[in-house]
Chains A and B, each alone.
Chain A
């Protein structure tokens, strides 16, 4: 994990323009350095939060059970933000992920509980649902030519509706075998955390380093130039939506197994917190920039803020206000960076 992070960071640094040669004040230099690398900004913020909370609440915050709980909460969005980051790098996004998540969970539950198939069948069906739903999103965006916002707003409703149609009140319980996917504890952390780590690690490396995924940066940077450079823009965009669907399906299956219950209302409005995390992590709606590490740090940051508020016994209602403010602050920093460049 650390290796991946270090490599990604050096890759990014080397692609940045050199800083201005004039010598600005120390404060503005620090501001500039922070603004230049979003993952770095987030790391600093996370460190401040962790240290501050550890000092203020030594008995509640830095305990294994609390850390484990924070990570468990972050696991779902960590998986989702990986796919969302890939899409946003290519200049599109997917609003339907919460519905895909619920649909996949419900289908896994139906296959295992109602039809009596073994747990692996439930897992595979859940993933397949995600792939099909993602492929349909990709089809709408590239072949029919509907803007990603509208297309996935439509399927957000359709997939949620399909979830209700499949299992009006959800499926409970699913099975003991199935429950193991989400509830086994390894080295003090539950499986969702380890699955998230594996996915994030793999994609962080692949998206930063492989020729295949580099093409997504070109698509988001300038779609017409990408096409004229021989990049199969439409096909890769579909691949991006399929990966997103697959990950949403996986998150749905894991969520269902964690609760041993497929809930029809699972994942409602999760797309907003995932996109928030992605933008916090350096993605932009114009496309062409961002990294998986950044997105995951965004998720971690939001999870920590949430945790800190609970421990502080500040009303949880304040949490969206803080998250929203941090998002706006981060994007303002971005504007500052851009205006400095031109």
Chain B
């Protein structure tokens, strides 16, 4: 009998309101293996990672670690067993030192429960040098770059006897050089027998780094392959497994210039951004996370006042005192995080949709329930929002439907320019295709659209023109038709300065 796998996951299911995030998922990871979890946004990769890391309790299913069944796994227990998870969003305490973070879960104490600072620093230094990196254990975490913070997260795992390391989209905020350095580190860990689960949707990285790959689609495993014996085409087929999501429409018939941004500067991130958008045109702002795309949009929308540069809307220079002025002038902006900046989750679908247009569903200042409902019904029909009633509370809807409510909320004021930051983050494949279709329809009706997206295939599908932003500057323009991921990445990374990423991190 051979040795048991490091990790065995069997028939695991996990349901969130409105979406079956994991459906009968099984997975085996061997010691000393880098195992990729691949899938589209919303395929269930992160959920699976969090179930294995003890963050979420699965609804059903079993897990073994080195042949020992894991029961009632929670984060604390996982850490004790040597399972470490490095989250997308990060879990470090920024006001503490590197060493204190590394030993946060199990501090080494002297008498009376005092933390032995000298000892945790010494051990942290040892861990860092084992990993072949140099980070001062006494440095405060807020002073670290995104890449360094990630290494600290990994070190946190190594402070236990690490058996299984889960990395969720670790390279999203990293430059190419930093990514290479991370790979060297992971290979070294692998040689010591640690199993690594590497969650990503970046195919190139998987071919460079991983041994095996398990592909997820809509919460189901569609296949596990040896990386050596598979091809990109096969993996894409497993990921998508259906027809092309969205057919690029005919070249748009563009109208007048709607938005002209000229040498926009908005500290600390936006250093010099210029672009134009015409009616009936969809312009994508592409670039790495932290390059200043969202911040530029917020400056255009009046959230921050630009330090210099001009914004012209339909030929007239505008200066907004706040988002209310931008909305009155005909601009809408869907923020990237619908839970944080976009929606009122405790409120109903109808109340959310009417939030930007309270005056139009009111008569002499009194809200009309009937008009609110009519407005909501119109968008529920138009965007095919799946909800039992306009008065359903939003947190009972799936991510995709929430995203559509957010879109409706911004279409209600009938803007001339719509800025959409990450239109499909955290939505499933079906909803994603629908959102693409809706954006296409809106464009055809003469709306000027700006899309910010970190998802390159999405950029290449949607964009009529691509403006590449790097380190707070607009560094190049590509036609949407015919551009490749490599073209965009080359522009986006050539100008990247590390400190630009750091500022955001």
- Seen from chain A, the residues whose Cβ lies within 8 Å of a Cβ on chain B are 11, 14-18, 209-212, 214-215, 217-218, 221-222, 224-232, 288-289, 341
Query: Which chain B residues (276-304) contact chain A, with CB distance < 8 Å?
Result: 301, 303
Judge whether B327 is part of the interface by a CB distance below 8 angstroms: yes
List residues of chain B with CB within 8 A of the CB of A228: 301, 303, 323, 333, 335, 341-342
Question: Is A230's CB under 8 angstroms from B327's CB?
Answer: yes
Q: Which residues of B contact A (CB under 8 A)?
A: 301, 303, 322-324, 326-328, 333, 335, 340-348, 351, 355-356, 358-359, 361-362, 365-367, 369, 388-389, 391-393, 395-396, 409
Interface-centre pick from A15, A225, A226, A229 (highest chain B CB count, 10 A): A229
Chain A, interface SS category: helix
A11, A15, A226 — which one has the most chain B CB atoms within 10 A of its CB?
A15
17 more A-B residue pairs beyond the given contacts A224-B340, A232-B322, with a C-beta to C-beta distance below 8 A:
A15-B347, A15-B348, A15-B351, A209-B367, A210-B367, A211-B367, A214-B358, A214-B367, A215-B358, A225-B342, A226-B355, A227-B322, A228-B301, A228-B335, A229-B355, A229-B409, A289-B346
Question: Is A225 a contact of B346 with CB atoms below 8 Å?
Answer: no
Please indicate which of the listed interface residues A16, A224, A226, A230 has the most CB atoms of chain B within 10 Å of its own CB.
Answer: A230
**What's the Cα separation between A16 and B335 when bound, in Å?**
26
Instruction: Contact check, A217 vs B347: say whether CB atoms are below 8 A apart.
Output: yes
Chain A nearest CB, measured from B392 CB (Å)? 6
Q: Which residues of A lie under 8 Å from residue B365 when comparing CB positions?
A: 210-212
Contact in complex: B346, A221 (CB < 8 Å): yes
A211 touches B358 (CB 8 A): yes
Residues of A within 8 A of B328 (CB): 230
Q: Which of B323, B346, B395 contacts A230 (CB 8 A)?
A: B323
Residue of B326, B355, B361, B409 with highest tally of chain A CB at under 10 A: B355
Please name the 9 residue pairs, one residue from A and one from B, whose CB atoms are nearest each other, closest first.
Answer: A211-B358, A230-B324, A230-B327, A221-B344, A211-B362, A17-B393, A229-B355, A224-B341, A230-B323
**Complex Cα distance A229/B302, Å?**
11
CA distance A111 to B416 in the complex (A): 56
23 contacts between A and B (CB under 8 A): A14-B369, A15-B348, A209-B366, A210-B367, A211-B358, A214-B358, A214-B367, A218-B355, A221-B345, A222-B341, A225-B335, A225-B343, A226-B355, A227-B323, A228-B341, A229-B327, A230-B322, A230-B328, A230-B356, A231-B355, A232-B322, A288-B344, A288-B346
User: Given A15-B351, A211-B358, is A222 in contact with B343 using a C-beta cutoff of 8 Å?
Assistant: yes
In the docked arrangement, what's the CA distance between A109 and B340, Å?
49
Residues from chain B with a CB closer than 8 A to the CB of A230 are 322-324, 326-328, 356
The distance from the CB of A285 to the nearest CB of chain B, in whole angstroms, is: 14
Find chain B residues with CB under 8 A from A15 CB: 347-348, 351, 391, 393
Q: Are B367 and A17 in contact (CB under 8 A)?
A: no
Q: Is the CB of B303 within 8 A of A227?
A: yes
Which residues on B sit within 8 Å (CB–CB) of A231? 324, 355
CB-CB under 8 A from A17, the residues of chain B are 392-393, 396
Q: Is the CB of A210 within 8 A of B362?
A: yes
Which residues of the partner chain B approach A11 to less than 8 Å between Cβ atoms?
Answer: 369
How far is B140's CA from A103's CA once the two chains are assembled, in angstroms?
A: 48
Complex formed: what's the CA distance from A289 to B344 in Å?
12
Q: Write the chain A residue with the least CB distance to B391.
A: A14
B340 contacts A225, CB within 8 Å? Answer: yes
Cα–Cα, bound, A166→B344 (Å): 46
By a CB distance below 8 angstroms, the chain A residues around B395 are 341
Query: Which chain A residues border B356 with CB–CB below 8 Å?
Result: 229-230
> Is the Cβ of A210 less than 8 Å from the Cβ of B366?
yes
Alpha-carbon distance between A232 and B327 when the two chains are bound, in angstroms: 12
A206 CB, min distance to chain B CBs, angstroms: 9
How far, in whole Å, are A6 and B180 apart by their CA atoms in the complex?
A: 66
